[in-house]
Amino acid sequence: MNAPPGQKAFLDGPYGAFSTDRHPRAPGYVFVAGGVGIAPIMGMLRTLADRGDRWPLVLFYGNRRWERALYREELDALAGRLNLRIVHILGEPPEDWCGERGMLTQAMLDRHLPANRGELHYFVCGPTAMTQCAEKWFAALGIRSTKIHSELFEWV
């Protein structure tokens, strides 16, 4: 749309169901992002921060290399505003990397999820294979399917 400066505009939407707003009574949230799958999760984290939310949050964020991880600085800032723990997972980490290595695994989830994991809601966005594995592993860890919310995308 080519509108002149100052013209009023009406914005509508979004209409998706991939949002913490659809599950406001959860005692915390877990987010799993692979690569650019962090984009919709950033929207949720920003909203939670703007609202002053203090629920416990865990973010598993997988990337091949550290340089390719989007929003690194903003995620650090959000961790200071939220009760947010970030678990970075790198497929090709630098030699001095002390975090998780490889690809997301059930063992990583088990290691970093809180004791009340069955009460939380889970949001997963990334490549299809990662998303399907995460859903399977959450189920194996006793998370009910009604608490797992996924957003799939494919490269075209």
State what percent of residues in the chain have pLDDT above 70.
Answer: 92
Domains along the sequence of the chain with CATH: 26-153 (3.40.50.80)
In angstroms, the CA 62 to CA 15 distance is 27
| Tally: H helices and E strands in the chain | 4, 6
In angstroms, the CA 151 to CA 128 distance is 9
Q: At what angle do helices 72-81 and 38-50 cross, to 10 degrees?
A: 30
Q: If you average pLDDT over residues 54-62, what whole number do you get?
A: 96
Write down the mean pLDDT value for the chain: 92
Q: If you average pLDDT over residues 70-97, what whole number do you get?
A: 97
Span of 15-29, 75-89, 113-127 with lowest mean pLDDT: 15-29
In angstroms, the CA 149 to CA 64 distance is 24
Q: If you average pLDDT over residues 97-123, what whole number do you get?
A: 96
Q: What pLDDT, on a 0 to 100 scale, did the predictor assign at position 24?
A: 79
What pTM, to 2 d.p., does this model score?
0.88
In angstroms, the CA 127 to CA 147 distance is 20
